[in-house]
Amino acid sequence: MEPTNRSQPLSDVQLYLSRQASSVWRYVAEQFVLGVFGWIPSIVGIGLRALFYRLIMRLEGMVAIEKGVRIRFADQIRLATGVYLDEGVYLHACPGGIDIGEGTLVMHHAELHVYNFRDLPHAGIRVGCESLIGEFNVLRGQGGITIGDRVYTSPHVQLAAVNHVFSDPARPFVEQGITAEGIVVEDDVWIGAAAVITDGVHIGQGAVIAAGAVVTKDVPAHTVVGGVPAQPIKAITGDDPPPDLPIHF
């Protein structure tokens, strides 16, 4: 019989804990607070979380966190006043951190995951003020994601600030490493449903990304792009909308 590696279970536990919190004691404290207060429904739960989550994370002013929000590396998260986290949101801020600006809404089942297990220097997710991260969005911040003010992302948008190297056909891609250049989305951008923003892309102020687009190159300011891969459709020049089109504010 082959000898049993008795250290393997302990090593697996240590690896798991290292990917959940900054230390074992932080893991215990964060899981205790999340376990006690994280399930409580209604405005009562929102109020209790606004009070007691300050013990484990940086909350500035009043924030609203619904029940069932999953949080890891809480000590590396900052939520500014007026931030709203809907049910099912997942924030994993492993080294690099997550910073969400004043008045920003993160809708249900959005996932913001820094995913930095390689000590990448620019990892992190930064979201500006009065933005909206739509339902079922996925943001992977290995190379760093910076989102400006008043940016709206529609449901099922993905921003992946990472890419696999797969140039060598003789080796599995998982052995060839990754690149992580980062993504920047400037102020006042609207990203349509199910669009994908790939690593290294910079989207200029006031741009519009059509639904379903796969953006692989930089987008100039005040430009509409769409398609796979995304191409410019038109410039936004200040033309008035059709006179018979009702507009609501």
Could you tell me how far CA 114 lies from the centroid of its own chain?
Answer: 7
Q: Is 156 a catalytic residue?
A: yes
Average pLDDT over residues 159-184: 94
pLDDT tens column, 188-198 = 999 999 999 99
Q: What pLDDT is stored for residue 131 in this prediction?
A: 98
Burial-class residue 201 by CB neighbours within 10 Å (0-12, 13-18, 19+). Answer: buried
DSSP state of 4: P
pLDDT tens column, 2-32 = 555 556 787 889 889 989 999 999 999 999 9
Q: Is residue 226 within 8 Å of 234, Cβ to Cβ?
A: no
H-run or E-run covering 18: helix 7-18
Q: Specify the residue for token string 């913001």.
A: 112
The answer for residues whose C-beta is within 8 angstroms of residue 98's C-beta and 6 or more apart is 76, 77, 78, 91, 112, 114, 124, 125, 126, 141
Average pLDDT over residues 32-43: 98
Angle at 110 between CA 206 and CA 55, to 5 degrees: 110
Dig out the tokens for 90 from the structure.
């997942």
pLDDT tens column, 115-147 = 888 888 899 999 999 999 999 999 999 999 999
Catalytic residue among 156, 202, 222, 248: 156
Q: How far apart are CA 73 and CA 239, in angstroms?
A: 47
Could you tell me how far CA 58 lies from the centroid of its own chain?
Answer: 17
Average pLDDT over residues 81-106: 96
User: Considering the chain, what is the average pLDDT of its residues?
Assistant: 94
Against a cut of 0.85, is the pTM above it? yes
Average pLDDT over residues 79-91: 98
